[in-house]
Amino acid sequence: MTDVIVVGGGVIGLTAAVRLQERGAKVTVWAADEPAETVSSLAAAVWYPTRTDADPRVLRWAAETYAEFRRQIEEGVPGTLLRRTRMLLRHPNAELPWWAPAAGHVELRGAQHPYTNALIFEAPLAEMPVYLGWLRQKVGNIERRRVASLDEATAEAPIVVNATGLAAGRLCGDAKVHPVRGHVVIAQNPGLDESVRDEENPAGVTYVHPRSTDVVLGGSFDDARGDTDPDPAEAAAIVARATALVPQLTGARVLRDYIGLRPVRTGGARVEREGNIVHAYGHGGAGMTLSWGCADEVARLAMN
C-alpha cells in the first residue's frame, strides 16, 4: 500500500513527491497527463516570484527553491542553468524589492530612458521539458489517472497531496482558482546568455530568457482569456517587443510558440493541510520559483 498519493503531475506535484520519498514515504503520483503535457512544460521557468505578494511564507518558499536550484546547477542536474538577469524598471525605486533576500546578491542600478532603474541578479533557469523528465525519473511511480473527486485518492492512501493546479477549483470548490492565459515564443538562440525583463512595458509584459540552444520570448498575462487558440498576431507582437528589448534577436529564427493557462489563485497559493489532504495549488506563474520550498512544506505537513 502506498503511503501518499500525489494528485497532479506538474512541477508542484513532482517536487512534492520527491521530497516525500526523501523522507521515507512510499509515494504514487496520479497524473491526468504526462508531465511533458502539463502547463509546467510550457513555462519559461526562470526563478522570479512573478505576480506574488510580499508574504513571509512566499519569501521562504522562494529562498528555499533558489538555494535548491543553485545546488542542482552545481551538481549538473539536467535542464538547469544559471543566468545573469537584468530586470528593467519603469518607475523609480529607492530600495530593493521584498523578494531580494531570497535571491542572494541583488544590485539596484540606474538605467537609461524609458527605464529608471535596473535590478541585476543571478537567476536559476529550468529547461522544463528536460527538467520534468528528470523529475519523472526520480519519482518513478506515476499512474495516468484523471479523478472526478479527491475521495478516489483518500480511499486508497492515508495521505493525499492535492497538486491539481486549475482542476483544484473544481475538486475543492475553490472559486478563487482561475486561469490566466500565457503566450511564449521559442526562437533560435543567437548567442545570448543574459535574461532581460521589462515587466512594466505598457505594450505587454516582455522578457527574453536564453536557454542552451533556444530562447524564450514573452509574453502575456491575460486574465480575460481562458482559451488556448493560436494567435499569430500576438506571437508577432511578442517577437517585436522582445527584439526591441534585445536587438541581437533581429533575424533570429522563430521555432514555435505555446499558449498555456496558469493556475492562478486570488490571494495566493494554498498550501495547507485539511484532514488527510495536503493542498498545494494556485501558484500561478511562479510554480518553478516556489516549487522546492513548497515541496518542503508539503512534506512537513504530510509527515508530521
State percent of the chain over pLDDT 70.
100
Q: What is the pTM of this model?
A: 0.96
What's the rounded Cα separation, in Å, for the pair 234 and 226?
A: 15
Q: Give the cell for residue 10.
A: 506538474
Query: What is the fold of 4-303?
Result: D-Amino Acid Oxidase; Chain A, domain 2 (3.30.9)
- For 172-195, the pLDDT digits (tens) are 999 999 999 999 999 999 999 999
Of 249, 193, 191, 265, the C-alpha closest to 217 is 249
State percent of the chain over pLDDT 90.
96
pLDDT band with cut points at 50, 70 and 90 for residue 224: confident
Beta bridge partners of 144: 31
Mean pLDDT value of segment 84-98: 95
Q: Is the peptide bond before 219 cis (omega within 30 degrees of 0)?
A: yes
State yes or no: pLDDT of 225 exceeds 90.
no
- For 99-120, the pLDDT digits (tens) are 999 999 999 999 999 999 999 9
* pLDDT for residue 29: 98
What's the rounded Cα separation, in Å, for the pair 236 and 273?
A: 44
* pLDDT for residue 131: 97
Question: Residue ranges of the domains in the chain?
Answer: 4-303
Question: What's the chain's average pLDDT?
Answer: 96
- For 245-279, the pLDDT digits (tens) are 999 999 999 999 999 999 999 999 999 999 999 99
- For 4-16, the pLDDT digits (tens) are 999 999 999 999 9
State yes or no: pLDDT of 1 exceeds 90.
no
Mean pLDDT value of segment 35-59: 94
What's the rounded Cα separation, in Å, for the pair 223 and 235?
A: 17
Q: How far is CA 119 from the centre of its chain?
A: 20
Mean pLDDT value of segment 226-238: 96
* pLDDT for residue 304: 81
pLDDT band with cut points at 50, 70 and 90 for residue 134: very high
